[in-house]
Amino acid sequence: MATPLPGEWRRTHTCGELRASHVGQTVTLNGWVQARRNHGGIYFIDLRDRYGVSQVVLDEKVAATVRLGPECVLSVRGKVNARSAANVNKERDTGEIELVAEHVEVLSPSRTPPFVVDGDEEVSTETRLKYRYIDLRRPQMQKNLIHRARLISAMRRAFENEGFLEVETPILTKATPEGARDYLVPSRVHPGEFYALPQSPQIFKQILMVGGIDKYFQVARCFRDEDLRADRQPEFTQLDMEMSFVEEDDVFAVWERVMAHTFRESMQIELTLPFPRLRWEDAMERFGVDKPDMRFGVELKDLAPWASTSTFGVFTAALSAGGRVMGIALPAVHALSRKDIQALEEVAKSLGAQGLAYWKAAREGSSGPLARFVPDAASAEHLMGLLGASAGDTCLFAAGKESQVRRVLGELRTQLGKRFGLADRAIQAFAWVTHFPLFEYDADAGRWFSAHHPFTAPEDWTLGGDGADPGKLASRSYDLVYNGWELGSGSVRIHRPDVQEKVFQILGIGPEERQRKFGFFVEALASGAPPHAGFAMGLDRIVALSLGLDNIRDVVAFPKTASATDLMCQAPSTVAPEQLAEVHVKCIPAP
């Protein structure tokens, strides 16, 4: 066989491309060896790339020219052959043909891979992350990354169609208060000084508004040094945007059009617009959480009118202490076992409840621990009316401080939703939750914090006047909620320097700190800041959720572990003393 000319190894087709129409053509494929079989001197190889798998046939003579191992990279030139009807593989797009190799070249050998790329064995997360380059060859990972790219590209196009300008903001910057710890980068040329990696482009996007860039967006990497959870990464990507001369409705309308376009383009799903809106207070009252899954009912109900006349001391005591008595009703078709009830009681207790009162609803002959406090048919009728319950439904109750009652019942509702699959998977339940509180009090720190961030406008520009209770102020912030997940947050911003100063005061940021950290920003606000508002969506999360995944690790090419390490390149790592000296840093050994 003649030595191939330089460059002849390059593919003419991908491994997913060949069909019956190519039969008779001489082609070259490049790809990875996924599987090898020897059938009495004839060798079969499954050759894979990201487009698919093609079967290659090698006779003994050709096979003798190469040493093939799993995952080695080949160039195969040969003729496309039609498979006999009996040998057609219907599972594969290329199943009607095979490539009869005339020349095979090993472009790159492979070490024995740590796991089989197309195998069904369970591979640990650690191994997958350590050998991410092998993991990325798995069709599932490739599907996830392709979906991610399509979704982001559809979103970009949607914002461009809306007249938004993509602007990049700095990565080496000053701390932005989003409520997490900053990642710091020491400066070499300014000894003892540090940059912070952005927790979000918040301050820059607002300054872009002052700069007249009235419609901005960016696919922005954000960095937050927080304790990690399943759906968090220390660096993550947001679709960040800001607009001038607008209020809430304008931001909502843009995002609704963008989401409709994105779902249509990347998933062929038609969304129903506009998305429902509900105030934070109503979300908490009806669902007990600020990110309700609205694909099912089982809403929280106020039972005070019944409880106030009942003889159950726990309930009457809660009411007279200014607390609440609330309940939820689970339809009778979803039978709760004793074990289920015990598990729910544990959940309630872990959230601070003393126990879990339940009642199997019936006008007569009801059961459960609460039954003896429902003395007659009239009382049962009253309670069932308030709960919206039918005979046979399981009703769960909570009594005590309002925040705790909501928290307990909200969590029970969520868990019941999961346990009984109450959510209709065919529904895309988007909703805007608006008017979150402006401030939250942290008793440990003894001070107020912004519930969203300090640049969020109050509902009342006077901040309730002098001496108002900051805990009672509503903000003009909003979240977009999707099937029980928070997809992103935003707000109408403070564009008046006097109000911004007042908010800093309430947050206990003194004049010196204000000047040092935000002086430039307040000056910008004082230099002709248009009214503006914006929003940022967590892209990793929407990509994962739209694939039905609840962990964002599978939609990030190179994610970090729960302890913020990169197992593949072993970051973070120590550095040479000279490198530290250069940036004027000395390490204090960990205690």
Which residues make up the interface to ligand ASP (CB under 6 A)? 178, 200, 202, 489-491, 534-536
Total residue length of the chain: 591
Q: How far is the CB of 212 from ligand ASP (least distance, A)?
A: 19
Q: Among all chains, which residue has been given the structure tokens 């798998």?
A: 53
- Burial of 201 (C-beta count, 10 Å sphere; 0-12/13-18/19+): buried
Q: How far is the CB of 266 from ligand ASP (least distance, A)?
A: 23
3-class SS of residue 430: strand
Strand partners, 75: 30, 105
Q: Among all chains, which residue has been given the structure tokens 């105030």?
A: 279
Q: How far is the CB of 241 from ligand ASP (least distance, A)?
A: 7
Closest CA to 384 of 361, 417, 406: 361
Q: How far is the CB of 247 from ligand ASP (least distance, A)?
A: 15
Choose between 417 and 458: whose C-beta lies nearer to ligand ASP: 458
Report the residue number whose CB is nearest to ligand ASP: 200
Choose between 55 and 200: whose C-beta lies nearer to ligand ASP: 200
Choose between 198 and 417: whose C-beta lies nearer to ligand ASP: 198
| Phi, psi torsion values for 68, nearest 5 degrees | -105, 130
Q: What is the SS3 string spanning 372-405?
A: HHCCCHHHHHHHHHHHCCCCCCEEEEEEECHHHH
3-class SS of residue 566: strand
Choose between 380 and 457: whose C-beta lies nearer to ligand ASP: 457
Closest CA to 532 of 107, 204, 60: 204
Q: How far is the CB of 547 from ligand ASP (least distance, A)?
A: 23
Distance separating alpha carbons of residues 385 and 88, to the nearest angstrom? 63
Say if strands 277-279 and 430-434 run parallel, antiparallel, or are unpaired.
parallel
Choose between 167 and 319: whose C-beta lies nearer to ligand ASP: 167
Choose between 393 and 540: whose C-beta lies nearer to ligand ASP: 540
Closest CA to 305 of 315, 290, 295: 315
Q: How far is the CB of 534 from ligand ASP (least distance, A)?
A: 4
Please report, for residues 182, 183, 252, 565, the alpha-carbon distance to residue 571 in angstroms, rounded to integers and kept in the order given: 17, 14, 39, 6
Choose between 428 and 450: whose C-beta lies nearer to ligand ASP: 450
Strand partners, 478: 434, 490
C-alpha angle with apex 215: 213 to 218, nearest 5 degrees? 95
Choose between 96 and 479: whose C-beta lies nearer to ligand ASP: 479
Choose between 221 and 295: whose C-beta lies nearer to ligand ASP: 221
Choose between 257 and 334: whose C-beta lies nearer to ligand ASP: 257
Q: How far is the CB of 493 from ligand ASP (least distance, A)?
A: 8
Contact, 11 vs 30, CB < 8 A? yes
Contact, 341 vs 358, CB < 8 A? yes
Choose between 13 and 232: whose C-beta lies nearer to ligand ASP: 232
DSSP notation for 41-109:
TEEEEEEEETTEEEEEEE-HHHHTT----TT-EEEEEEEEEEPPGGG--TTSTTTTEEEEEEEEEEEE-
Strand partners, 360: 367, 394
DSSP notation for 229-273:
-TT--SEEEEEEEEEES--HHHHHHHHHHHHHHHHHHHH--PPPS
Q: Among all chains, which residue has been given the structure tokens 């995952």?
A: 71
Choose between 394 and 477: whose C-beta lies nearer to ligand ASP: 477
Q: How far is the CB of 519 from ligand ASP (least distance, A)?
A: 20
Distance separating alpha carbons of residues 389 and 368, to the nearest angstrom? 15
